[in-house]
Each structure stands twice: as C-alpha cells, then as structure tokens.
Copies of this chain bind each other. A is one copy, B any other.
Amino acid sequence: MSEPAHTAASERVAAALRERILSGEISPGSRILQEEVADRLGASRLPVREALLMLTAEGLVTLEPNKGARVPILDRQDVEVLYQMRERLEPLALIESLPRLDDGDLAEIAGIQRRIEQHDDVREFLALDRDFHMATYGGCGIDHLSDTVTRLWNATQHYRRAFMLISGPGRRWIVNAEHGLLVDALQRRDAVDAERYLVGHIRRTRLALVAHPEVFAGKA
C-alpha cells in the first residue's frame, strides 16, 4: 500500500494467505472467499485468484471449479503417507545439501537447535523446528526437491500443531536428543549417520502422530 508496494501483488497476497493458513488462523475445511481476501489486502480479485493457484501448488488449498477454494481436510491415512513421503525424500535433500553447507551454516543450524531447547511455546517451537530442518536442506540446490519438501511440510503443518497442542511439552526432550545427534552428525560431515537420525526422527514423529486419532476431525 504505502511503502514496499513494488513487490508483485500476487506474491503479497499469497504470502499473506500462506501465513494465515500455516498459523492456523484459517483452519482446514474453511472456505476462502476471493472478494473477502481482496478487500482485506486492498487488492483486486485477480491477484487473489493467482495466489490461490500458487497455494494450490503448495498444497495449502484445494480449488474446486465454480465452488471456490478451501483449506483441505486430511484424514489419518493422508497424513501418514505424507510423513512416509518425508521419510523418503528429506534424507535425499539432506544428502544433496550437506556437501554444500559451510561451517557457518552448520553453526547457524546448531544455534537454531539451541533456541528450540529454550522455547516451550508451541507456536515458537513449530516455527523454529521448521527453520531448523529447512536450514539443514539449505544447500540442496534442486528446486524440485526443495519445493516438494516444502509442500509436505505445508500440508501437514496443521496436524503437527494439533498434535503438539495435545501431547504437550512432556516428551519434547526426545526431539532435542534427535536434533542434537543430527547436528553432531552434520558437523562430522557424516551423511550416513545424519540420514539415520533424520529418518528415525520423522518416523517416530509419524507414529506418535497417528497414535492420536483426536487430531483428525472427520474419521478415525
């Protein structure tokens, strides 16, 4: 509006919607009205339509012809398979990334992990956890791979948060142990160990998540 308006309007709308969806302000099942979004952001409906298409590609909304956009509702099997996709793809991203991470990058990753250990708040934890893992994939220069990993994180974000809110911080130490071992393996430039701890981390999270049926609204 006033100052940094030279950024493309579609991108701004997409970023705003992405933030609102990932933060949980717009929950799964909610309908997204083009005009309402346009009014709120002071843009026309056209950038909103383009933004919705972008977000569809990111797995954050589904678009039904003539019926509008919604945040998709996933059942337990959906989330379980998405986690299995993560278990298979993120190690590849890590393997591609590790050789290109310099010592500064690794120090930054370790710093994020230290901050995670200090934060109990679910909202902060979720953001930092995402930053942590994405930083470990930061050296992966393959757009297709990075984009796919981002999609998987986006699609499962709401259910990850729901699980964190239910399970509480009691067993949070496990995450810190796993992250710690992963960071150590990275600093030793040991891709085999890093992959081992990463797969274990994701797999344990998946099993813990699907063990809580109350996370999934519709069906068991």
Contact = CB atoms under 8 A, between A and B. Distances in A.
Contacts of A88: 88-89, 92
A77 interface: yes
Interface string A150-181: 01100100000000000000000000000000
Given A50-B50, A57-B57, A148 B148 contact: yes
Given A59-B144, A77-B142, A8 B85 contact: no
A56 interface: yes
A81 B92 contact: yes
Main secondary structure of the interface of A (DSSP, over half): helix
B144 A78 contact: yes
A142 B81 contact: yes
Contacts of A50: 49-50, 53
A69 B82 CA distance: 30
A104 interface: no
Interface residues of A, number: 29
Contacts of A54: 53, 57
Contacts of A53: 50, 53-54, 57
Which of A84, A141, A144 neighbours the largest number of chain B CB atoms within 10 Å of its CB? Answer: A144
A49 B96 CA distance: 33
Nearest to A80: B142
Interface in A74-100: 77-78, 81-82, 84-85, 88-89, 92, 96
A176 B89 CA distance: 28
Interface in A122-153: 141-142, 144-145, 148, 151-152
Contacts of A46: 46
A142 B77 CA distance: 8
A80 to B, nearest CB: 9
